[in-house]
Amino acid sequence: MAQMTASTAPRLKGSTWEAISAYLFIMPWIVGFVLFMGGPILFSLCLSFAHWDGISGLGNIQWVGLENFRAMGSDPRFPKAVYNTFIFTVASVPLSMIGGILVALLMNQKLKGIAFFRTIFYLPSVTAGVASAFLWFFIFQPDYGLLNYSIRLIAQFTNFFIHLALPFDLPVKGPQWLADPAWVHSAYVIMTLWGVGASMVIYLAGLQGIPEQLYEAADIDGASSWQQFLNVTLPMLSPVIFFNLILTVIGSFQIFTQAFILSGGNGSPADAALYYVLYVYQEAFRLFNFGYASALAWLLFVVVLLVTLVQFKFNGWVYYEGDLK
């Protein structure tokens, strides 16, 4: 054995040898990062100061300075896309955060068959993509869609009882959803909430990491279950909530596949579903304004970065165990 060690031992110092092998191990990532992440980020920064159709050679790139950023000011679809994405984010992030936590709390109960229900809640987020977008396209159909059918059934049922005592009734006809600019964001938020299982799993993992003793101690101190939730569960879960918040905000900035399928690829009705990434896609791959699209993408990047930094800046509410504050 000693002989073998001697023969395979490198002449280099152990730590140098370790560093060399480490860099060999991470070489794929370094190459991938330079080619598909760092390089592209810099390249799109350059492109955002240029005009280019993306098809003709790199020699046809024309430098135009800040022209692309100025063009945003005069392009009526730009504020529209920003506004739509903002509205969607503001509506969907709190709802899916609260929904995810509530569902995770429900799924953290010690009940028989809870694993089955966890699977049910997780299913929609595995089925995300084109297939589920199609499905929702039909669910939202105003006349024969499943959603308005359920609304009608529930309204008729409720009206029966209202009529017994009161002289008014609930509307039986549901909204136009995807065809009505006023309702289109609600439709996308409902779709997003259907996929709440993805964040549920992460909250669940967090909930199960909370030591049981904390609850026992709180019990002995006579804390009610509401107090336990406020003073034990929420603080202990806050790192996970923070992690999810960052991912959810980034994800809602990036809504694309559903919007692409449900709006026929153009953000209809009346650009009400023209979300930012859909807009970038159209400018780049439909209109071949690669320079302008790069400028838009870089703006998104900067905004995401700023929003994430702001969230880190104001993370005083996050409780880290072992942190002396």
Partner 1 sequence: METVKLDFWASKRRLDVLRKGVALAAILVLSISMVIPLLWMLAISLKDAQNVFQLPPWRVDWRWSNYVDAWYPYGQPATTGVFWDDVRALLFDKESFWWYLGNTLVVTGLATLGVVVSAAMVAYAFARLKFPLRNSLFVIILGTMMVPAQVTMVPNYILFAHIGWTNSWLPLIVPAWLGGGAFNIFLLRQFFMGIPYDLDEAAKIDGCSAFGIFWRIMLPLCMPAMVTVAVFSIVYNWNDFMNPLIYLQDSSKFTLALGLSQFQSLAGDKTNLMMAAATVVLLPILVLFFVGQKYFIQGIATTGLKG
Q: Which of residues 152-181 bind partner 1 (CB under 8 A)?
A: none
For the bound state, the minimum distance from the C-beta of residue 297 to partner 1, rounded and expressed in Å, comes to 5
| Residue whose CB is less far from partner 1, 182 or 227 | 227
State which of residues 157, 160, 301, 317 lies at the interface with partner 1 (CB under 8 A). 301
Q: 94: cis peptide before it, omega within 30°?
A: no
Distances from the Cα of 1 to the Cαs of 13, 14, 15, in angstroms? Answer: 20, 19, 22
Closest CA to 237 of 313, 216, 245: 245
**Per CB under 8 A, 31 contacts partner 1:** yes
**By CB under 8 A, what part of segment 76-105 binds partner 1?**
103
**Per CB under 8 A, 186 contacts partner 1:** no
Which residue carries 């996970």 as its tokens? 240
**Per CB under 8 A, 275 contacts partner 1:** no
State which of residues 79, 94, 129, 171 lies at the interface with partner 1 (CB under 8 A). 129
**Per CB under 8 A, 237 contacts partner 1:** no
For the bound state, the minimum distance from the C-beta of residue 20 to partner 1, rounded and expressed in Å, comes to 8
| Residue whose CB is less far from partner 1, 90 or 150 | 150
User: Letter for the amino acid at 64?
Assistant: V
**Per CB under 8 A, 229 contacts partner 1:** no
Closest CA to 203 of 88, 124, 122: 122
Assess contact for 88 and 275: CB atoms under 8 A.
yes
**Per CB under 8 A, 221 contacts partner 1:** no
For the bound state, the minimum distance from the C-beta of residue 280 to partner 1, rounded and expressed in Å, comes to 6
State which of residues 72, 91, 95, 135 lies at the interface with partner 1 (CB under 8 A). 135
Residues 6+ apart with CB under 8 A from 56: none
Closest CA to 99 of 197, 185, 188, 183: 197
| Residue whose CB is less far from partner 1, 14 or 73 | 14
| Burial category of 233 from C-beta neighbours within 10 Å (exposed 0-12, middle 13-18, buried 19 and up) | buried
**Torsion angle, alpha carbons of 26, 34, 287, 291, to 10:** 150
Bridging pattern class, strands 62-63 and 50-51: antiparallel
State which of residues 12, 154, 162, 205 lies at the interface with partner 1 (CB under 8 A). 205
**Per CB under 8 A, 250 contacts partner 1:** yes
| Residue whose CB is less far from partner 1, 196 or 272 | 196
| Residue whose CB is less far from partner 1, 107 or 272 | 107
For the bound state, the minimum distance from the C-beta of residue 172 to partner 1, rounded and expressed in Å, comes to 14
| Residue whose CB is less far from partner 1, 40 or 235 | 40
Rg (CA), the chain: 26
Window of 63-71, 89-97, 130-138, 166-174 that interacts with partner 1 by CB under 8 A: 130-138
Both tokens of residue 97?
């955060």
Q: Tell me the three state secondary structure of residue 51.
A: strand
Size of the site for partner 1 (CB under 8 A): 102
Window of 86-94, 106-114, 158-166, 266-274 that interacts with partner 1 by CB under 8 A: 106-114
Which neighbouring-strand residues pair with 63?
A: 50
**By CB under 8 A, what part of segment 38-57 binds partner 1?**
39-41, 43-44, 47, 54-55
Q: Tell me the three state secondary structure of residue 285.
A: helix
- Round to whole Å and give the CA distance between 88 and 80: 12
